[in-house]
Amino acid sequence: MTAAVRKPDVDVTVARVFDAPRDLVFKAWTDPKQLAQWWGPAGFTTSRCEVDSRPGGHMQIQMHAPDGAVYQWQSTFREIDAPKRILFDSAVADRDGNLLFKGTHTVTFEENNGKTRLTVHSLANAVTPAGAEALKGMPEGWSDCLERLAEVLAAAANPRRT
């Protein structure tokens, strides 16, 4: 039996300025090796990250929460306008494949004097009862992701010399 799906009550916009050029920030969203390093809230790890960054291409991520919960993130890219904008639809499920929520995400990249203002707008457009609980943390989750992204970009800008 499938859980009932209701309309969203979660519409989140999070923005951050990174001390990195737009091309590098954009690449961190489309390169699976980089994406796996920062995707997910604080404490989460990524065991699988596949990205086909083209319109119609897919992104598949398997995240592990600190409490052991596993989340499957399946996305389809609707638009890739490098290095300005990414638009994708996603479906997030638990470890057993039960849908938690679906969403549409728009990511914009604006460069100014070598820095990049990144804005993520997420709209949950189908939510199951189990997904409603997970979505309560979406604003903090995206903020955590962007904090982790800042760390990845800083490490890339300042590699250790041996």
Check which CATH number belongs to the domain holding 63 and give it: 3.30.530.20
Q: Which residues contact 55 (CB under 8 A, 6 or more apart)?
A: 77, 78, 79, 80
Confidence class for position 1, pLDDT limits 50, 70, 90: very low
The tally of domains found in the chain comes to 1
Q: Which residues contact 48 (CB under 8 A, 6 or more apart)?
A: 60, 61, 62
Confidence class for position 132, pLDDT limits 50, 70, 90: confident
Residue 101: pLDDT over 60: yes
Tell me whether residue 16 is in a domain.
yes
Summarize pLDDT for 105-121 with one digit per residue, the tens: 999 999 999 999 999 99
Report the distance separating Cα 56 and Cα 148, nearest Å: 27
Summarize pLDDT for 29-64 with one digit per residue, the tens: 999 999 999 999 999 999 999 999 999 999 999 999
Percent of the chain beyond pLDDT 90? 77
Tokens encoding 61: 């991520």
Give the full edge-to-edge strand order of the sheet including 11-18: 11-18, 115-127, 99-112, 85-94, 70-81, 58-64, 45-51
Tell me whether residue 162 is in a domain.
no
In sequence order, the β-bridge partners of residue 50 are: 60
Q: According to the model, what pLDDT value does residue 7 have?
A: 55
Give the pLDDT mean for 84-95.
95
Tokens encoding 27: 């690449």
Tell me whether residue 6 is in a domain.
no
Can you tell me which residue has the tokens 């920030």? 25
Residue 65 structural domain: 11-157
Residue 143: pLDDT over 70: yes
Q: According to the model, what pLDDT value does residue 95 have?
A: 87
Report the distance separating Cα 62 and Cα 52, nearest Å: 15
Tokens encoding 87: 């638009």
